[in-house]
Amino acid sequence: MKRLMLALAPLLFALAALDVHAQLTIEITQGRDNPTAIAVVPFAWQGQGTAPEDVAQVVDADLARSGQFAPVDRADMLGRPSTQKDIFYRDWRAIQSEYLLIGRVLPQGEQMRVEYELYDVTRQQQVHSGAESGPANEARMLGHRVADAVYEKLTGIPGAFATRLLYVSATRVPGGKDYFRLTLADSDGARPIVLLESREPVLAPGWSPDGKQVSYVSFETGRPAIYIQNLATGAREQITNFKGLNGAPAWSPDGNTMAMVLSKDGSPDIYLMNMTTRKLTRVTRHYAIDTEPTWMPDGRSLLFTSDRGGRPQIYRYDLRTGTTERVTFEGGYNARARVAQDGRNVVMVHQKDGRFHIAILDLVTSRLQVLTSTELDESPSIAPNGSMVLYATKHADRGILAAVSVDGGVKFRLPSREGDVREPAWSPYMGR
């Protein structure tokens, strides 16, 4: 395969910031019945002038978005302690806050350090303390890392706030060609960066397992082709150029292989590409549609969608034995699976009563649970901690992103004021 370095492609993929109208916002539509009350006190800024970023607000919003916490309104706080000696527990008991988070933000040249302590108000004791450091212009990411630590301390599950999202948006041009954008943003939708803008379709974004590269399909040559792009350098490479479909790229957990769909030999089949040699291996060989490959976390098998039984269902291919088994049996349309890191929960698009929902299948118990109640839900992507599922849906005839917890208890939407947003891809844990 000829490698095409397209570092100077006639497309905008420089780190261009989106204008604020295109940024996603968050509307929590359903939380838990008894969320944990926590007061996240504004962190004390210990530098000159005003703080460049309200880091505590980032923590507050993250915890609220999880649906498992009810952060105390700042207007209700009777004090603003930033060190232990300033804490009066009765002030926090009075407003029924179960936990209290205080902290300090210290500038260190181009760097920034956030120190914080978490207290149990009832027991009047510190339950956790920590510090996060990083570039000052990444202050929001420091807030997300504090939120990750607090979330883990209080729920026992690692947080996934210090992660990022890829998504595709399209601006409609009736009677003409829509604008397509591939955007990278923080897990809360903040700091969006356009990686690619095109008048031809862009789809199927995904991550390398180290979070340093992204893959996607672009029609910029007039035909579909798979591209990979390094986020740090912007270097971009077209890795396929076959006749027919070139789609659904999915990096293996070890990063050495990419599963993809090609129809060069007739009908759509799953292939594996060695990412070093670019050599192809054919996985499925069937006249039916075989598509949407995704890896089990151990890298030993693939899940994929096939209509070989008449309707689209999820199948599992064992790479060592070469055997294929059907995974889904409930309902007439199950497609585009994504597997949680536990290797047990599988989210997918599931049709019920003519509507497309997001469902979760427990591979151990074979229990399938429908998580959403809207009707054109697709492209589920599971958080690296397995807690939430991001997906695309329609709201007021617009494509938007939404999220639901894996137990269905928490729901929120991420509407954009512009365009149709779809195909979210939640990053793996980054730089840990």
Partner 1 sequence: MRHLPVAGKTVAVLFAAAFLAACSGSAKKEEEAAAAAAAAAAAAAQAEQQAAAAAASAEQQRLMDAAAAYGNVFYFDFDSYNLKPEAIEALDAHIAALQGSDATVRLEGHTDERGTREYNMALGERRANAVRDYMVVNGIPSYRIESVSYGEERPIAYGSGEANWSQNRRVELK
Residues of this chain that bind partner 1 (CB under 8 A): 172, 174, 178, 201, 203-204, 219, 222-224, 244-245, 247-248, 261, 263, 268, 289, 291-292, 305, 307, 312, 333, 335-336, 349, 356, 376, 378-379, 394, 397, 422-423
Quick one: tokens of 3? 């490698």
Gap between the Cα atoms of 110 and 348, Å rounded: 43
Q: CA dihedral defined by 213, 349, 181, 260, rounded to 10 degrees?
A: 40
Residue closer to partner 1 by CB (options 19, 397) is 397
Residue closer to partner 1 by CB (options 97, 379) is 379
Q: Which residues contact 317 (CB under 8 A, 6 or more apart)?
A: 270, 283, 284, 301, 302, 303, 304, 323, 324
Contact (CB, 8 A) for 315 and 348: no
Gap between the Cα atoms of 274 and 254, Å rounded: 11
Burial of 182 (0-12, 13-18, 19+ CB in 10 A): buried
Q: DSSP secondary-structure letter at 295? A: E
Pairing, β 378-382 against β 213-218: unpaired
Residue closer to partner 1 by CB (options 198, 387) is 198
Rounded least distance, CB 114 to partner 1, Å:
40
Quick one: tokens of 305? 């969608």
Rounded least distance, CB 431 to partner 1, Å:
30
Quick one: tokens of 253? 């957990």
Residue closer to partner 1 by CB (options 98, 378) is 378
Residue closer to partner 1 by CB (options 184, 335) is 335
Rounded least distance, CB 335 to partner 1, Å:
4
Residue closer to partner 1 by CB (options 60, 378) is 378
Rounded least distance, CB 432 to partner 1, Å:
30
Rounded least distance, CB 141 to partner 1, Å:
30
278: left (phi over 0), alpha (psi -120 to 50) or beta: left
Residue closer to partner 1 by CB (options 247, 428) is 247
